[in-house]
Structure 1
Amino acid sequence: MQLTRCPVCHSRISLEQLVQDEAGRDLLTLLTRLDKSTGTVLVTYIGLFRSQSRDLANNRALKLAQDTLALAAEPQLLTAMANVVESMRAKQQQGSFKPLSNHNYLKRVLETTDAIMIEPLPQEVTASNKQTKRAAISAAVMDIADIDWTLSGN
């Protein structure tokens, strides 16, 4: 069954050929179970492991995808992967990009985003009361109750 044409090179893509390889089948299955945003960012992130001269083998891509998804919950992982992708794109434009060889950079980004995660809004805040919602967000972001405002050493 001819699926469509490749948007880049315009060659035909056959669904039967894509699923001939077991790792390719498993990778497609894994990606179809994700929501659109997570799947898209995951594919882009996995692409950061591919060198310019070689394609990424399906079994390697599958392993990378599984390992990546095991690192964190989906909302935090999505944000961290997007940050890594944007950072690596900037490096590509500067000409200093080397393909990733492990998930250490993503792990560091996850640690950083975990450290700055803002507490969820209280249950009593409803969407109907925008002023209360803004006040709760401001209080969560600017929790300054325990800060010593005196200047030491003066």
Structure 2
Amino acid sequence: MAKIYISLGSNIEPVAHLTAGLRDLTRHLGQLELSSVYESEAVGFDGTNFLNMVAAADTSLSVAELNSLFKQIERDNGRLPSAKKFAPRTLDLDLLLYDDLVCDSPIVLPRAEITENAFVLWPLAEIAPERVHPTTGLNYQSLWDAYNKPQKLWVIELTWPPLV
């Protein structure tokens, strides 16, 4: 079984789409460990605020199978495959880590967004503070403590309905 970490984000009906995404992930992956939900301003374009979080799970699925599953869940939630990268979205699911795998195919792991975006690093540091980034050699809490790029981000309180 591999330990995986998944970034979830939405700025179109975000509570509804994050809930649906978590429900689908739970159905396919089983028990999830969830970070807090973070609200942040859109990065790379002008748009409404995003809600972001990180979920962890154990799985026997391959990286390619997970990538296909995540794309299907995104499509099921109204995300168009042709959608621009820097644009509003109903649901964005990204595999951040697959154990300590470092690869370029079928996707790049670990995801560069881990060290580049506060909305990924902070929730990851919350649920995996002592886990070590496979290429930097630093744990996620240390990376978060050293993070100094200006990005407005704050925790919000959400009560999730049952996800199964």
Determine which structure has the larger helix proportion and give its number. 1
TM-score band by shorter chain is under 0.3
TM-score (norm 2): 0.23
- TM-score normalised by L of structure 1: 0.24
Larger RCO (CA within 8 A; separation ≥ 6):
2
